[in-house]
Structure 1
Amino acid sequence: MRVHVTDLRPGDHIQQDAFNSNGVHVLRKGTILRMEDISKLLQHGIDYIDISPRQLAESIELLSDISESFRQVQPQFNLAFDGCRSMFEEAAMTGKFNESVVDDTFHPLVDSLSEQKDVVSLLLLFNGKDDYTYRHSIQVGMLSYYIAEWMGYSEQEAYDIGKAGFLHDIGKCRIPREILDKPGKLTPDEYEQVKLHTIYGYEMIYESTQDKITATVALQHHERGDGSGYPKAIGEDQIHPYAQICAVADVYSAMTTNRVYQSKQQLLTVLRELYGLSFGKLNGKATHAFIRQMLPYFIGKKVVLTTGESGIIVANNQSDYFRPLVQAGERFIDLSKEPDTEIQEILL
């Protein structure tokens, strides 16, 4: 059956080799399409493709497989959540935490992530409204691990960077809950107290593990390349590379997660803001690696537009990566050409 590329679904089988208008071979006959393959066809300007007839059972099975793959991650996420809470509570009482708890809870999560490349779906699935500090720590650990992998770090280095991200906010256990959970704007004095979590984190991690690099990540994850960060206002050449990766993950997670005093922002909007921050404040290589790898996984996601319409992201826009092409019913909406229309929410 011949279908338009925007009507393709993951799991479709293509019946012929796919070539673009210049004769470049794009996909082989028999390819079982993934979301990134559909994106590739769109980017090459291919309009129609021949696929094997779809069976209802196959479509249901595909959806079931996707759901099952994420269900397999859930126990490891819950384990990491419980471990994170346990570490925070122990550190609050004693000033230290049991190092073995970190590996016992974070390592199984990392192992389960090796089969989960759709980071956008992971963020949507595990972005609850409760216990922000623990969810944020897990997200920063996950994202730091992914970014390190995408930048070409070894598996062990990526794990170490992810673990540093997992621990980066441990110092917040010494900040009064009434400040962390305050629904309104912090006073200057309260903000100064919050900033101390970087120093507390360094002290707790080093005291507990003797790992100076991981401790340094906690100390420096709010430092910025232009010297505008804290606690020491140092420049990019003095910020540890692991801390620079963690900073990207930290900003993205913080801006896309529900907090007491701030509603989460839309995932693509935050990517655009990260891109702007990559010129001076956040490390450019880490930020661009993150954006480059994340963008393909927005294709196929359901969205709600500010017009009230519901649709599906069908292609990234080459002229503006953060304003994609959306199909809403029979209408195709190029958000780069409709500045008054925004994505209000991204759904699974």
Structure 2
Amino acid sequence: MKVHVSDLIPGDQIEQDAFNSHGVHILRKGTALRTQDIAKLLQHNIDFIEIAPREEQSSIAYEAPSESQDLVDKVTSQYELAFEGCEALFSEALQTGSFDEVVAEESFRPLAHTISKHKDAVSLLLMFNSDDDYTYRHSIQVGMLSYYIATWLGYSEEEAYDIGKAGYLHDIGKCKIPKEILEKPGKLTKEEFETVKLHTVYGYELIRESTDNEAIALAALQHHERMDGSGYPQRLYEDEIHPYSQICAVADVYSAMTTTRVYQSRQSMLTALRELHRLSFGKLSAKPTHAFIEQMLPNFIGKKVLLTTGEQGTIVMNNPSNYFCPLVQVGSRFIDLSRESEDETAIRDILQI
């Protein structure tokens, strides 16, 4: 019987060799299809295939490897410590004009040490995608992601820690911005936005007053600078922006896009990655941005998703021709999102684990 590839189910047996349009042999006759075999057929743009008559069989759903519960519990504990530490640092900085570097160290280093053993950054972000205070949650996410990006770029463990710490402290200057502006649900006035922009300068001053690490202070000052000179506060260009700042900028943009704020709904994680890719051509530094995307994408395989159709499925394969439109299994069906109109079928959200 002839079946469209998207209607195949694991366990189906093909009755003839499968070749793509270029005559390349893909699968042998008699193969009992697995999820990865169906994905391969879709990848090679094979539309229909002959299979043996189906007998009663159950679909073999993709199952993601489960994380060690001990590691999850430990990361959760360290996250809570980092959250409390961030709150204390912001409060002290506002009241005294500086903060205790030991508190920053004791708040972030345990988390950095633990996530170094947790390679799935996507799962971590899903675990901590809560409704806690945005500023503190965002600071922790930027710290974690900056640490990851630094390791993926080949920085030493201590350098990666410093870059993660720079991300953790990058927004500390916001402690001096009035809450009614930071939490305003509508669009900021020009004057209000100019006030918000000062958090970069305030952050630099607070960090320099509290530590002797110029690079970490520069990350606070420069994380809104852009490679084409369109950023703030100094409108710097590529060569003028410190490498730590370039990394923190990538983490900052991604975290901001994927987190709910009072004035903006969060974007799906894959949509945000696609936007980062676009920004890497002129706005964000290409090297850390592309390293981030390349390392994040494999971690989406096995994640549960909600589609715009209302259906739930599982990502089973990244599409090599369109990284941000993966192959999704919904029940016994496979949907290649690269072949679907985004107006009809797309990923609305990655579901909490």
The TM-score with structure 1 as length reference comes to 0.83
Q: Which residue of 2 aligns with 1:227?
A: 229
Query: Within 5 Å, which residues of 2 pair with 1:1-348?
Result: 63=66, 65-339=67-341, 340=343, 341-347=345-351, 348=353
Instruction: Give yes or no for contact 1:168–1:218 (8 Å, CA) kept in 2.
Output: yes
In structure 1, give the amino acid aligned to 2:328. V
In structure 1, give the amino acid aligned to 2:208. Y
Q: Take 1:244 and 1:154, find their aligned partners in 2: how far apart are those partners?
A: 17
Secondary structure at 1:203 match in 2: helix
In structure 1, give the amino acid aligned to 2:72. F
In structure 2, give the amino acid aligned to 1:222. H
Alpha-carbon distance change, 100 to 130 in structure 1, aligned in 2, over 3 angstroms? same
In structure 1, give the amino acid aligned to 2:203. G
Q: Take 2:233 and 2:242, find their aligned partners in 1: how far apart are those partners?
A: 14
Instruction: Give yes or no for contact 2:246–2:285 (8 Å, CA) kept in 1.
Output: yes
In structure 2, give the amino acid aligned to 1:344. R
Secondary structure at 1:307 match in 2: coil
> What displacement does 1:68 show?
3.6
Alpha-carbon distance change, 190 to 39 in structure 1, aligned in 2, over 3 angstroms? farther
Instruction: Give yes or no for contact 1:6–1:314 (8 Å, CA) kept in 2.
Output: no
> What displacement does 1:198 show?
0.2
Alpha-carbon distance change, 331 to 102 in structure 1, aligned in 2, over 3 angstroms? same
> What displacement does 1:263 show?
1.3
Q: Take 2:38 and 2:291, find their aligned partners in 1: how far apart are those partners?
A: 22
> What displacement does 1:167 show?
0.4
Q: Take 2:221 and 2:37, find their aligned partners in 1: how far apart are those partners?
A: 41
> What displacement does 1:22 show?
8.8
In structure 2, give the amino acid aligned to 1:247. A
Secondary structure at 2:233 match in 1: coil
The TM-score with structure 2 as length reference comes to 0.82
Task: Flag the structure with more relative contact order, 1 or 2, with Cα contacts below 8 A and sequence separation at least 6.
Answer: 2
Q: Output one character per residue of 1:213-271: Cα deviation in whole Å (capped at 9) or x when no partner.
A: 11111000000000000001110110001100000000000100111111111000000
Q: Take 1:289 and 1:279, find their aligned partners in 2: how far apart are those partners?
A: 14
Q: Take 1:337 and 1:86, find their aligned partners in 2: how far apart are those partners?
A: 49
Secondary structure at 2:339 match in 1: coil
Equivalent pairs, count: 305
Q: Which residue of 2 aligns with 1:35?
A: none
Instruction: Give yes or no for contact 1:256–1:266 (8 Å, CA) kept in 2.
Output: yes
Alpha-carbon distance change, 166 to 7 in structure 1, aligned in 2, over 3 angstroms? farther
Q: Output one character per residue of 1:96-149: Cα deviation in whole Å (capped at 9) or x when no partner.
A: 000111111100001111211110010011011120000000000000000000
Which structure has the larger Rg over C-alpha atoms? 2
In structure 1, list runs of 5 or more residues that go unmatched: 9-19, 24-37, 47-58
In structure 2, give the amino acid aligned to 1:220. Q
Secondary structure at 2:313 match in 1: strand
Over the matched positions of the two proteins, sequence identity in percent amounts to 63
Q: Take 1:272 and 1:280, find their aligned partners in 2: how far apart are those partners?
A: 15
Q: Take 2:225 and 2:37, find their aligned partners in 1: how far apart are those partners?
A: 37
Q: Output one character per residue of 1:151-183: Cα deviation in whole Å (capped at 9) or x when no partner.
A: 011111101100001000000000000111111
* Range with greater deviation from structure 2 (252-261 or 68-77): 68-77
Q: Structure 1 stretches (4+) deviating beyond 2 angstroms?
A: 5-8, 20-23, 38-46, 65-69
Instruction: Give yes or no for contact 2:9–2:332 (8 Å, CA) kept in 1.
Output: no
Q: Take 1:109 and 1:86, find their aligned partners in 2: how far apart are those partners?
A: 16
Secondary structure at 1:84 match in 2: helix
Secondary structure at 2:73 match in 1: helix
